Structure 1
Amino acid sequence: MSKLLVIENTKIKQDSQGRYCLNDLHRASGGNPTQAPAQFFRNKSVNDFVQTLTDMQICTSPVNTIRGGVEQGTYVCRELVFKYAAWINPEFEVKVYQVFNAYTQGELQAVNQIPKSFSEALLLAAELQAEKERNAPKVAFVDHYVEVGTSKSLREVAKILKMPERAMIDRLIQDRLLYRQSGALLPYQTAHSRDLFTVKTGTAEHGHNYTQTRVTSKGIEYIASRYASELML
């Protein structure tokens, strides 16, 4: 449930690192053979874009290909999803943006997961309750561990939540909560407005200025509930 993303009635699979299946997106767009992922990657501008994502460390390993099995396909980071959607046509690009915005803000249930029958509604309710019960102990742990009004570094948050630090940061970047600028991780304004992060600036002992993004208690609760079933060890 935590990874369910549906575009035009097509479920978009994700790999273990949160990349999205481009083959599913191709099917969601209508499945035109001339717009298949293989055709997309024949564009020099696309390959240049992939190299730029890698060089700027916006996401690690932007493209991953799985061969064989039910998960077979080409999986890409969020930025490449948007570039692919724009390559398809403007209408599909807008649709993808809308769905991803709803997904990031936790509104996907209302937008894309409306049950079509009573049996589907019962199944959905059972899945939601099961996920809530799985995450409850982890969120409760945060409530007891983190004092309201305090903030923690990203590394401290990863240790508190028992999440791999790099994987946690990658997901925050992919979900457009953080971005890299001049080597520093900074929050997008939308995340800042929800009080998930605070930015600390100052001068270190050696005289150099520094900028550090810290996670508020509300932000830690959000990360725990949003990524608990996926990243918590």
Structure 2
Amino acid sequence: MMIGSAAVRRDEAGRFCLNDLHRASGGERRHQPGEWIRLGQTEDLVEELAKSADPRSYPIDTRVGRGGGTYVARELVYAYAMWISAAFHLQVIRAYDQLQAAPAGPSALVALDDPATLRGLLLTYTERVESLQARVHHQEPQVRALQQLSGADGAFNITTAAKMLQIKPRQLFAWLEQNGWIYRRAGSRNWLAYQPRLNTGVLSHKAIVTSGSDDVQRVHEQVLVTAKGLTRLGELINREQLGWTPADHTRGQQLAVPA
């Protein structure tokens, strides 16, 4: 989709890149996608869309690395654009209408009549298959370990989850905050999970009792990453660099904190 001279990418599920939309809107700091994602009304909208969404196509998906960004369903694109301004909202609506009205490309049958085109398509397809097979072979141990862990009992604090994902804890805290998984209330140092993340079972809360210098006991909630959440993070945060092994899975279960 083109908005002015800016191209907005789509992923394989048809979701649009919010980061591209942010740049197309002018790229103001106050309009960063993370600020919009943290809004209560955004959480409610995502939750409503998730009820009727295809399980394979969640309304919002965030990925890192090459081609990364936050990708959202069309309804969320409209909501984000409206949050920025009425003018940008109208611009996005017109861009989407233009995208839908664009004529389809050349007929596949016409292309296959050309021997050179057919040969090129076959070569490209073969290269893609070989590349996918290599990636599947490389990722098989990681995928198997993540699948095993997804069925494990218990949950992990964020520092432990970061160690298991082989990234620094401060990087995971920053990622979770920027991508609408956790937040802090004004004046508080404690992290809390956004309600949609609790509803989908990727995060949970645990009550922690602490004693201050005045010997008064206080109760606060600690955010835990569930086994399901750890699996999801493993898929989102550059799985190719995780290097999971069966030993990692065993160590992870030993470190599990009962939910």
- Give the TM-score taking structure 2 as reference length: 0.45
Larger radius of gyration: 2
